[in-house]
Structure 1
Amino acid sequence: MFGFLNSTALFAAVAALIPLIIHLFSRRRVKVVEFSSVRHLKAMQKRQVRRLKIRQLLLLILRMLIILAVVLAFARPTTKSGSVGAHASVTAVILFDNSASMGRYVTDGYLYDIAKRRTEELINTFGQADQVMLIPLCTDAGVAPTYGSAAAAREKLATIQLSARRADIDGALETAANQIKAAANLNREIYVITDRQKSSLPSSEALKNVDAKLYFVDLPLEIGENIGIMAVDFGGQLIMPGVEFSLTATIKNYGTRERTDILASLYLDGRRVQQQQAEVAAGGENRVRFAQTVAASGFHSGYVELSEDNFPADNRYYFSFFIPEKFSLLLVDGDEAARFIELAMVPSPDLVQAWSIKRATPDQLGGVNLDEYDVILLAGAPALDDRMATRIKTLVRQGKSLFVTYGGRTDIAAYNRVWSEVTGVAFDQPVKQSFTRAGYYSIEAADLNHPIFSVFGLEKNKLPEVKFFTLPTSHLVGQPRTLMKFTGGMSALVENKFGAGKVITFTGPIAPEYTDLPGHAFFVPFVSRIAEYLASNLSSLDIRLFVGSP
């Protein structure tokens, strides 16, 4: 099949009509005058005129063919295998797709290797006078592409590695269009070698700026069946040596048929420790739960792996976590609640504990190194001097966790000025100091899917019956998340994000004169679980490692 590399030159083919037009305009009509003496020559004249017309016609056709041949030479006719005739210099830009989707298997083999072979075949068609530029669709920022010979393009092709990132086809096409505008050669061509995924096809806006012939190199495209791991979740739990922890892997079926033969394996510290079988409907998701223990503190790493398919890049999901020797909590004593919280976290100093607690009054904080503690707990939200409050806020913004409880002696004006932005809670009225126990508030609702509550197995209509005989009134500031509510819809437990740190606020008083919470069976696991959740950042590091992440 024929084509033309410089089809613009074909407009010049109209010039082939010039000899015909001249011939038509140069014909003259001759007046015939009969002479009796030359009548015998008529027969001879007819024969000569016939031969002359044939000669003139052949000469006209020859002149037109000469013009057409010149035009075709400039248009550079091509066949599927290459150009025909003399080789005019070409400036070519090759956009090579090295994104993650190219790393899959098709019937003919590994798609990335096939794409490399096709690209090398294309490069071999260029001559020594041609300019060739090879641009990977996934490349480091700041690396400027340059023109070179076909040999240089082959060398660069050999160095391109499969990337875990998405293809930036619009960015690469913009670079190619800008580079090719300045080319000296009139023949300008852009070739795209891609598997034509949605992210590797150019937008209509990008195509508008391309002033060159654009070719897509054929690759074997197949709709493959693919299973991938979307996420691994530790559920915000505190991981401790010898204590069973769980992790959940979310598996997605990107294919068109149900899969019932999926094997998911958990590898921990270099060895496979568990294997589960899973089923996932076409286009659906499913979760696989693993339960394991580690024997020692320190760094641990692992991954969840699926059985092989045509696209292995998303079959693994890596994670790592660190278990310190002990988790440390700084308990700032602002009211009687501090004593009950300390007992809940460390019932007896003779027992082996995961927590190390230091209890200090606000006046003693000047001699405390706040950096040594994983969680800071402000019991009763005591008033702190501005320097210490600023120091704590800075640490929270950098990633330290904060737990704040309201107290009967909390100065709500000072609290709102210093802590409302951090906690996402502002108080309107303090608790009443004069009240009866005839009526009470209780826990009306809780976010049972949140990691703080999910471990308890609570039911929506069977929440702990805890009594609060008086409560402050409050409202939320910014966009915090309410995890628990008192009767009447007032927020009881609020989570807020302040910089990189997590902040949990309990808006009700904990001292026994206001509530029966300290003596309730729910108190110890409730306080411990909040502390574990706040410290979970320390024992669940880097659990969101996606393909392509730096």
Structure 2
Amino acid sequence: MWSFLNPAALFGLIAAGIPIILHLLSRRRVKIIEFSSVAFLSKMKQSRLRYVRLKELILLAIRTLIIAFLALGFSRPTYKRSAENTHGPSSTVVLLDDSYSMSRQTASGTLFEIAKSKIIEIMDNLSPGDKIAVIPFSKSAEARYKFLSPDPSYFTRLMPEYATTPETTLVVSAIKEAVQLLEQSVNLNRELVIISDFGLCGWTSIETVRDALKGFEGNVLLTAIDGEESDNAYLASIDYGGQIIQPGVGFEINTIAKNATNKILNNVLVDLYLDDKRISQAEISLRPAQSGEANLRANVPSPGIHHGFVETQEDELPIDNRFYFAFKVPENIRILIAGLDNELSHSIQLAASPPGLAKSHIIADFEPISKVISMGIVDYDAAILGDYHPSQILASRIKAFIKDGHGVFIIPASAMDVKMLNEDLGKLNFPVQIQKEFHPGSEGSFKLEELDINHPIFVVYRELKSGGQPFRIPDVNFRSIYDIIPKGTIHTLASLSGNKPLLMASESDGGNVILSSAPFSANLSDITSSSLFLPMIQRVSEYLASKTGSFGQGYKINEIASLNLPKDDSAGKLEITKPSGESINIQPRQGSDGYMAVFDQTNEAGIYFLKSGGQVIDAFAVNIDTRESEPGVIDHDQLASLLPENRLEVIDQNENVVASLEKFRTGREFTVASFGIVLFLMVL
């Protein structure tokens, strides 16, 4: 429908009749003059008069239209497809993207500062009776933001408190809260303004956004704050490759950095800080939108809790330049050894903690398998279950143990029910299928043929080779093996003749599980008497225990952190010290296998320290979700499809947000078009 913002100017249309009146008054009677011969003049008269009259009518129409469009231009005509909105008061909810990508620096300030300037423009142009709410994405449910105020100064006073958070874009929940608030408004004009950089992280699932807007009858203005392309490389992950970290022994931290721009980034510096000291540096170049690796050497001088971060050089988005980690190097490793074959259990215990050593860092305890079934596995860093017999109760105990980040080595007994073995392994999410047991006969055996010397358990043999020392795989024989078919991702650590896997490893529910395909009993194998056995059992113990308090035990922002507590600290006063220095008291919680410290206020990136009686007993790292750093924005055409065209508009930061809102309230104004037509007619 058409309307006019200045209807009084329509009286000017009366002036459009002036050219017509003047035309009529200027018409004169034709004066007849007799002439001797008018034959040729009569023909000329008819053709000439038709031309003159047509020209006069065209000029009359142009003069009339000039005056008419001048009057229309001054009346400010507008057109709206819907008659629902009025010129009355409006209720406006502004949703402000406060995800960390909005902290990106530009020549005009951060994206967040540009967004806040748009909000100030809106508040400065409110009319009496209008109401407004300014709600950050991450705080959409907080009462102090979630209400429509008739006084914009309330939100003006809050402006200094608005800041970016280390979170990702939480757009769907914010839209739902905003729509609910607007539906409660008594004002007929209801407007939702969303100011964001529209990065892919929060806007990828456009259907969920459409569902959040479903049923909303107001208008939506999407304001894209993107700025110019800037340099940004972020740290996507770090990994220590399952290395066994020991005091005085060097290890490598593999760092993955990613280029979030469409240009090459050369000579990007990557620094490693460990226990507040910079100890290593690397340099990498990154192709557009591609990842690169940097290997950083580290060394810890003593057992205990260690923490640090990897950092890239500063760029336009500083928050994603660090990746934090924390890990514990135990002074002693406690290993549980259990099984029905006492001879095998004794051999494993002697290999794990040889009696001839003055001081062993591995403490190996033997427990009857019946006790493990009834009591579970507690107060141990890892477990070696020799001569394993299937048991669903035992499998449940193992599952709870590995779920807490511990590791288990399972060595099956001979002549076991294959179906029951598969059920136990399925409960542990170990991705293999056992087919049957092979016995090559009294004259034959399966021989050890290959070791993965790049794996931490057997890396000592790689070091021998690199040092120029001779290395030969020990002569080990097995007279019984289970035929095993992988059903998922497993790592084969050792293989037998016929390309049969002997040792297989997989990460399961947060802990490591190693499975042997062959029994180790003395009547079926000579492995316990080989030169391989002692170093293998020790390295297996260290490897399985290294997952405890794993390298990083990392969490994302706002994830719930859970840490197992030693018995000695389960009843004491516990507190968590956040990266900002704030300390929060917490109460231990009873878990399936002991007490746990559970903490849900992980809203800062950095290192969190768990203390008992004032002493640090554990630490964990919290990092940002780097999906927010990934390059790219949602296509504007996709955004425009969220609502019908007359109720949604997408603008960029250079367009006037106030004028766009005015279009919703009054319709599309044709004042400029009217004056343009006047100029065109005058040129004619």
If the length of structure 1 is used for normalisation, what is the TM-score?
Answer: 0.74
> Structure 1 residues 286, 500: closer, same or farther in 2, change over 3 A?
closer
Distance, in Å, in 2 between the alignment partners of 1:396 and 1:95 is 44
> Aligned pair 1:145/2:151, yes or no?
no
Q: Calculate percent identity across the aligned residue pairs.
A: 23
Q: Secondary structure at the match of 1:120?
A: helix
Aligned to 1:49: none
> Structure 1 residues 521, 259: closer, same or farther in 2, change over 3 A?
farther
> Aligned pair 1:246/2:255, yes or no?
no
Contact 2:6 2:75 (8 Å CA) reproduced: no
Alignment of 1:256-275 (within 5 A): 256-275=262-281
Alignment of 1:419-434 (within 5 A): 421-422=427-428, 427-430=434-437, 432=439, 434=441
Among candidates 477, 481, 486, match of residue 472 of structure 1:
481
Contact 1:492 1:506 (8 Å CA) reproduced: yes
Aligned to 2:90: 90
- CA displacement 1:248-295 (0-9 Å, x = unmatched): 211112223322322211112222222222222332222222222223
Aligned to 2:492: 483
Contact 1:480 1:495 (8 Å CA) reproduced: no
Distance, in Å, in 2 between the alignment partners of 1:322 and 1:433 is 45
Alignment of 1:70-109 (within 5 A): 88-109=88-109
Q: Secondary structure at the match of 1:173?
A: helix
- CA displacement 1:506-549 (0-9 Å, x = unmatched): 11133455445445544444333332221122242535344665
> Aligned pair 1:231/2:237, yes or no?
yes
> Aligned pair 1:294/2:297, yes or no?
no
- CA displacement 1:322-376 (0-9 Å, x = unmatched): 2232110011144344344334322344333221111344467699884121111
Distance, in Å, in 2 between the alignment partners of 1:400 and 1:231 is 22
Distance, in Å, in 2 between the alignment partners of 1:12 and 1:201 is 41
Distance, in Å, in 2 between the alignment partners of 1:74 and 1:450 is 70
User: How far is the alpha carbon of 1:185 from its aligned partner?
Assistant: 2.4
Among candidates 165, 168, 184, match of residue 163 of structure 1:
165
| Range 121-130 or range 167-176, more displaced | 167-176
Distance, in Å, in 1 between the alignment partners of 2:230 and 2:215 is 34
> Structure 1 residues 524, 260: closer, same or farther in 2, change over 3 A?
farther
Question: How many residue pairs align between the two structures?
Answer: 489
> Structure 1 residues 108, 250: closer, same or farther in 2, change over 3 A?
same
Gaps (5+ residues) in structure 2?
A: 18-63, 466-470, 560-601, 603-684
Distance, in Å, in 2 between the alignment partners of 1:247 and 1:122 is 50
Residue type matched to 2:170 in 1?
D
> Structure 1 residues 418, 265: closer, same or farther in 2, change over 3 A?
closer
Among candidates 526, 529, 548, match of residue 536 of structure 2:
526
Contact 1:322 1:539 (8 Å CA) reproduced: yes
> Aligned pair 1:120/2:127, yes or no?
no
Contact 1:297 1:323 (8 Å CA) reproduced: yes
Contact 1:237 1:451 (8 Å CA) reproduced: yes
Among candidates 189, 203, 226, match of residue 187 of structure 1:
189
Distance, in Å, in 2 between the alignment partners of 1:364 and 1:220 is 63
Q: Secondary structure at the match of 2:548?
A: helix
Aligned to 1:332: 338
> Structure 1 residues 369, 174: closer, same or farther in 2, change over 3 A?
closer
| Range 535-544 or range 298-307, more displaced | 535-544
**Aligned Cα root-mean-square deviation (Å):** 4.3
Q: Secondary structure at the match of 1:495?
A: strand
Distance, in Å, in 2 between the alignment partners of 1:254 and 1:173 is 28
> Structure 1 residues 167, 360: closer, same or farther in 2, change over 3 A?
closer
Structure with more relative contact order (C-alpha pairs < 8 Å, separation 6 or more)? 2
Q: Secondary structure at the match of 1:538?
A: coil
Aligned to 2:362: 355
Among candidates 501, 505, 524, match of residue 495 of structure 1:
505
> Aligned pair 1:537/2:539, yes or no?
no
Distance, in Å, in 2 between the alignment partners of 1:142 and 1:272 is 41
Aligned to 1:42: none
Distance, in Å, in 1 between the alignment partners of 2:371 and 2:440 is 28
> Aligned pair 1:509/2:515, yes or no?
no
Residue type matched to 1:436 in 2?
E
Distance, in Å, in 2 between the alignment partners of 1:251 and 1:238 is 24
| Range 424-433 or range 298-307, more displaced | 424-433
Distance, in Å, in 2 between the alignment partners of 1:441 and 1:341 is 21
- CA displacement 1:126-152 (0-9 Å, x = unmatched): 134211021222336576822113122
> Structure 1 residues 456, 250: closer, same or farther in 2, change over 3 A?
farther
Aligned to 2:351: 344
Aligned to 2:385: 378
> Structure 1 residues 224, 548: closer, same or farther in 2, change over 3 A?
farther
> Structure 1 residues 374, 175: closer, same or farther in 2, change over 3 A?
same
> Structure 1 residues 314, 213: closer, same or farther in 2, change over 3 A?
same
Distance, in Å, in 1 between the alignment partners of 2:436 and 2:226 is 70
Q: Secondary structure at the match of 1:508?
A: coil
Q: Secondary structure at the match of 1:138?
A: helix
Residue type matched to 1:507 in 2?
S
> Structure 1 residues 183, 396: closer, same or farther in 2, change over 3 A?
same
Residue type matched to 1:106 in 2?
T
If the length of structure 2 is used for normalisation, what is the TM-score?
Answer: 0.61
Residue type matched to 1:380 in 2?
D
Aligned to 2:576: none
Aligned to 1:198: 200
User: How far is the alpha carbon of 1:420 from its aligned partner?
Assistant: 5.8
> Structure 1 residues 334, 245: closer, same or farther in 2, change over 3 A?
farther
User: How far is the alpha carbon of 1:305 from its aligned partner?
Assistant: 1.0
User: How far is the alpha carbon of 1:416 from its aligned partner?
Assistant: 5.4
Among candidates 255, 259, 266, match of residue 261 of structure 2:
255
Contact 1:375 1:400 (8 Å CA) reproduced: yes
Residue type matched to 2:505 in 1?
E
Distance, in Å, in 2 between the alignment partners of 1:214 and 1:363 is 66
User: How far is the alpha carbon of 1:314 from its aligned partner?
Assistant: 0.8
| Range 145-154 or range 87-96, more displaced | 87-96
Residue type matched to 1:187 in 2?
N
Residue type matched to 2:364 in 1?
I
Contact 1:471 1:508 (8 Å CA) reproduced: yes
- CA displacement 1:81-124 (0-9 Å, x = unmatched): xxxxx984221111211111111111122222232233223222
User: How far is the alpha carbon of 1:219 from its aligned partner?
Assistant: 4.0
Q: Secondary structure at the match of 1:304?
A: strand
> Structure 1 residues 501, 433: closer, same or farther in 2, change over 3 A?
same
Residue type matched to 1:318 in 2?
Y
User: How far is the alpha carbon of 1:415 from its aligned partner?
Assistant: 4.8
Distance, in Å, in 2 between the alignment partners of 1:111 and 1:432 is 70
> Aligned pair 1:305/2:286, yes or no?
no
Distance, in Å, in 1 between the alignment partners of 2:264 and 2:79 is 58
> Structure 1 residues 480, 190: closer, same or farther in 2, change over 3 A?
closer
Aligned to 1:317: 323
Residue type matched to 1:472 in 2?
I
Distance, in Å, in 1 between the alignment partners of 2:293 and 2:79 is 65
Contact 1:229 1:249 (8 Å CA) reproduced: yes
> Structure 1 residues 445, 128: closer, same or farther in 2, change over 3 A?
farther
Distance, in Å, in 1 between the alignment partners of 2:496 and 2:545 is 26
